[in-house]
Amino acid sequence: MTKLKDKVSSPIKREFKTDINMTAPISHKKEYLSDEIQNSIMRGELLRLSLFIDAVKDNLKELKTSNPKYLKLYVDIIKLSIKPLPVIDIDLPLDILLKQLPKASFENQEALDFTSEVLNLADPLTAKYYLAHLAGGILENLNLKKQFRASIPFVKYITSKAPDNYDLERQKNFMNAVKYLINEKADSRKIELLPRIKYAIDNITKKDYEIDAVKIIYSKAPIKRIKQNIETLTKKDLTTNFDYADYLIKNSL
């Protein structure tokens, strides 16, 4: 029987010889769908949609020459605008919205990044309801860039999976939350703390709880105090009606 040790020699004892003709190239293979190819596909999709939708045709040149980062978002918005929804639907003023997108793609990218997150996470009816409000001109308000950027991680916490109904209650609640977050009076630094606050509370309680986020982001409490109070939250502080927001901005029960 041939033993394994008879077949394998120690690499330490072998002499390593080099060949001056050998090459050791360092290469990087790009993905087949590079950004350039993906952008070309999205421009082609815009052209195809312009053949059937007047609002796209009227704004095609501006859309195709705007920031290519958002071409896919444009296509998603257009397709959602013509998608019939069950139960109840939203009349989206597509032409008004499309006219605002190219300029926002350069000057208010934070708002478009937030919008992309909404379309990725919210149900079609909520997303369409949001876009209808977006057409009102909020993309042109550059004073809200910090609030849009800070609120992106919070989108997943204000979307709901409840079934659709005829009164748009879920969609109205979503937009109310958006309006509280995307507001010039809202402190963007405190909005950025909300996921951290949720994580801290999740780690100290297994019970259902609510946080009055509005009280926190509109409070005059210094950021430093809120951060310190996040660290001092412990299980022994918790009661059935514990007010987390009050504790975080005042450190008092």
Same domain, 160 and 57: yes
Q: In 3D, which of 167, 80, 168 has the Cα closest to residue 131?
A: 80
Output the pTM of the full model. Answer: 0.81
Last residue of a domain, one of 134, 164, 186: 186
Give pLDDT, residue 202: 87
Same domain, 76 and 147: yes
Tokens at 39, concatenated: 């952008």
Same domain, 58 and 175: yes
Give pLDDT, residue 72: 96
Give pLDDT, residue 219: 94
Give pLDDT, residue 19: 52
Q: In 3D, which of 241, 242, 213 has the Cα closest to residue 226?
A: 213
Give pLDDT, residue 167: 81
Tokens at 107, concatenated: 């000057």
Same domain, 201 and 253: yes
Same domain, 182 and 106: yes
C-alpha angle 27-33-35 in degrees, rounded to nearest 5: 90
Give pLDDT, residue 5: 41
Tokens at 205, concatenated: 């309680």
State phi, psi for 33 to the nearest 5 degrees: -90, 80
Same domain, 140 and 236: no
C-alpha atoms less than 13 angstroms from C-alpha of 64 in its C-beta half-sphere? 16
Tokens at 20, concatenated: 């001056």
Position 182 in a domain: yes
Position 21 in a domain: no
Same domain, 175 and 233: no
Last residue of a domain, one of 186, 217, 233: 186
Give pLDDT, residue 226: 94
Give pLDDT, residue 99: 97
* Burial environment of residue 113 by CB neighbours within 10 A (0 to 12, 13 to 18, 19 or more): middle
Residues in the chain: 253
Distance CA 197, CA 194 (A): 5
Give pLDDT, residue 13: 40
Same domain, 128 and 98: yes
Same domain, 167 and 200: no
Give the model confidence (pLDDT) of 111-165 as tens digits.
Answer: 999 999 999 999 999 999 999 999 999 999 999 999 999 999 989 888 876 666 6
C-alpha atoms less than 13 angstroms from C-alpha of 65 in its C-beta half-sphere? 5
Residue-number span of the structural domain to which 229 is assigned: 187-253
Last residue of a domain, one of 186, 205, 224: 186
All residue ranges of the chain with pLDDT < 70 are 1-33, 161-165, 235-240, 251-253
Position 5 in a domain: no
Give pLDDT, residue 7: 40
Displacement of CA 33 from its chain's centroid (Å): 23
